Amino acid sequence: MESTVRRTARATVRRLPERGKYDRAVIDAILDEALICHLGFVADGSPFVIPTLHGRDGNTVYVHGSAASHVLRALSLGAQACLTVTLVDGLVLARSAFHHSINYRSVMLFGVARLVTDSEEKMRALEAVSEHVIPGRWAEVRQPNAKELKATSVLALPIDEASAKVRTGPPKDDEPDYEFPVWAGVLPLGLSMGEPLPDSVLPRDTPVPEYVRRYSRGK
């Protein structure tokens, strides 16, 4: 695996370039932590941005959906795609309205998606998506049958042309505003988990799996 991604013109961070990251370890970590992605493309002259689940397996990001989906069909025919994820780590409260911001980690991934037709790769891709959402679940549940696999399309997008953008730290005010009498700082944000809610038809003595009890998506 390459340690960095290919830096093309469209993948290069231009606004605040010091926040740009091209290291694969950084990009992979953000892709793996983000629960969903947004998939952008143009089809029949109209732009679309679709929120969907994803999963990474090595150098590839997989997305899946109905085999009847016009979205996946358009992408499988060679439409240029842009896949994005964003993690919000905190609200940055400055002394001036202009300098308010957020602390975040984001990735933009560009390329042409490939329709997965090999049955073994398709099953691995679906496992990658499942394990991305909740690790440990795939091994316990019933695997997709032939009918379900036929009804599902999987697309593969290589991690080749991409960039990450990251903001961390406190607010950055104009020098005169540091004397302005208002609280300033960072309000950290994170994803919290609630108590698992059992299905109403589940036998009462069915234990909650440890991977559910200990679920988290933090850094």
CATH code for the domain of 108: 2.30.110.10
Taking only the tens place, the pLDDT of each residue in 70-87 is 777 888 888 899 999 999
Could you give the number of structural domains in the chain?
1
80 part of a folded domain: yes
Domain membership of residue 122 (yes or no) is yes
pTM tops 0.85, yes or no: yes
Low-confidence ranges of the chain (pLDDT < 50): none
Q: Record the tokens describing residue 25, joined without a space.
A: 């370890």
User: Is 1 a member of any domain?
Assistant: no
Parent domain of 132: 17-213
Cα 152 from Cα 60, distance rounded (Å): 18
Residue 217: per-residue pLDDT: 86
Contact (Cβ atoms closer than 8 angstroms) between residue 99 and residue 182: no
Straight-line distance from the first to the last Cα atom of the chain, in angstroms, rounded to the nearest whole number: 22
Question: Dihedral sign, CA of 173, 175, 177, 183?
Answer: positive
Strands (E) located in the chain: 20-21, 36-43, 46-53, 55-57, 60-66, 80-93, 101-112, 114-115, 152-158, 161-167, 185-188
Give the 3-state secondary structure of residue 54: coil
H or E segment and range at residue 183: none
Q: Tell me the per-residue pLDDT of 115-126, one tens digit each, with 9 for 90 and over.
A: 999 999 999 999
- Residue 12 inside a domain? The answer is no
